[in-house]
Amino acid sequence: MALSIYDKFNRQYILNDSLNLEQINLPLVTERRERLSYPFGDAELVQIGFAGILIIYGDVSVKESRLRIKSFDEPESVELHFSIKGTGILENYLTNKKMAIKGNQHNIIYTPFFDGIAQFETDKSHQFFEVHFQRDKFIDLTSGSSTLLERFGNNIMNNRSVAISAENLPISMAMYACINDIMNCNFTGGLKLLFLQSKCVELLALQAQAFNLADQKTVSKTVMSSYDKDRIYYAREYLLDHASNPPSLTELAKVAGINEFKLKQGFKETFHNTVYGYLSDHKLMQARALLADKALDIKNISEQLGYSSVQHFSNAFSKKFGISPGKAR
């Protein structure tokens, strides 16, 4: 599969995917890490292919705010999309549909054809994580699961470009844990294949559950307007950017431009957690990833994440994961 990108001077650049369908269908894990540099931007990408699944994740920085993009020779695949950081808009001229991209949001997408534009903030990090299931594999996995997935599957089988939901949902801590497990997988050979397969299916199950719940849920009574929703997401970003020295609820509400009541209620409705409960889970997920680095001792990790003491960190970690940091390592 390949992608054509046109810069502001209408110069064409063809990005060929190094993992073709034959490699993806191999019963072994094929992996490639690369750095790309073009006049319109730079990227660091990781691609992992195996048994009908392609994982792509990385960090992209663009120098032009608007780029024309065309895809061709695309395999028939369904994309689990996770926007980790950064904002933007994708507009597909073939379907006359726009898709907003915001940090900490996810969706499930089927786009067999794309010819349109991508708009992103320039000179900022845009981090993403994607899992692509071959279409038939996705249909087999989700067959008979729910009415929502059945509708989505019917659109896919009719080759319609579609997202499972018109609105993206926030990425849950369980999804982040799954993504981190995939990115930090240390297994090799057959064990790596089994581990990555299971985690990709787990990630799909978590997304399906989230969209099913959202499909059944009544409209929120607290976060009504798009402005309020944007302010809640901004509060989350600000909170995580200042995780080592977090603001008070009053300070966070003021920075976000929303009253404290809406902040507390809206945050819980959006992320299914309190403000500081979410922050605690985020820090502990970071801790679990940092423990993989043997060069960092537990005291350093505790201090880096802003815990008042190693004991406080150890107690919080044990309560969350049921195991001490030392044993987790």
Alpha helices in the chain (DSSP H): 21-24, 135-142, 147-157, 173-183, 189-216, 226-241, 249-256, 260-271, 275-290, 298-304, 310-321, 325-328
- Per residue in 218-227, pLDDT tens? 544 555 688 8
Query: Does residue 156 register a pLDDT over 90?
Result: yes
pLDDT at residue number 43: 93
pLDDT value at residue 215: 83
Residue 130 has pLDDT above 60, yes or no: yes
Whether the CA torsion 131, 133, 135, 138 is positive or negative: it is: negative
How far lies 227's CA from each of 17, 140, 146, 165, 230, in Å? 38, 39, 32, 20, 5
pLDDT at 198 over 80: yes
How confident is residue 323, by pLDDT bands cut at 50, 70 and 90? confident
- Which residues on neighbouring strands pair with residue 47, listed in sequence order? 32, 56
Structure tokens at 329: 């390592």
* pLDDT for res 219: 47
Q: What domains does the chain contain, in order, with CATH numbers?
A: 2-216 (2.60.120.10), 226-328 (1.10.10.60)
Q: Of 115, 105, 88, 121, nearest to 163 (Cα)?
A: 105
SS3 label, residue 223: coil
Residues 201 and 204: their CA atoms lie apart, in Å, by 5
Whole-number pLDDT of residue 224: 63
**How far is the CA of 322 from the CAs of 158, 186, 311, 317, in angstroms?**
46, 22, 15, 8
Give the DSSP H or E segment for 76.
none
Per-residue pLDDT band at 26 (split at 50, 70, 90): confident
pLDDT of the residue at 255: 95
Q: How far apart are the first and last CA of the chain?
A: 39
pLDDT for the residue 2: 63
As a whole number, mean pLDDT of residues 146-171 equals: 91
As a whole number, mean pLDDT of residues 165-175 equals: 91
Confidence grade of residue 113 (pLDDT, cut at 50, 70, 90) = confident
For residue 269, name the pLDDT band (cuts at 50, 70, 90).
confident
- Residues 247 and 240: their CA atoms lie apart, in Å, by 10
Strands 77-85 and 126-134: antiparallel
Mean pLDDT in residue range 41-61: 93
| Residue 322: predicted pLDDT | 82
In this prediction, residue 304 carries a pLDDT of: 87
Local confidence band at 144 (pLDDT 50, 70, 90 cut-offs):
confident
User: Residue written as tokens 């003491």?
Assistant: 309
User: Within its chain, how far is the Cα of 98 from the centroid?
Assistant: 19
In this structure, how many other beta carbons lie within 10 angstroms of the beta carbon of residue 269?
15
73 pLDDT higher than 70: no
Per-residue model confidence (pLDDT) at position 110: 94
* 293 pLDDT tier (thresholds 50, 70, 90): confident
> Residue 21 above 60 pLDDT?
no
**What is the rounded average pLDDT for all residues in the chain?**
88
For CA atoms 167, 168, 173, 174, the dihedral sign is positive
pLDDT value at residue 200 = 97
Among the ranges given (23-32, 125-134, 252-261), the one the predictor scored with the smallest mean pLDDT:
23-32
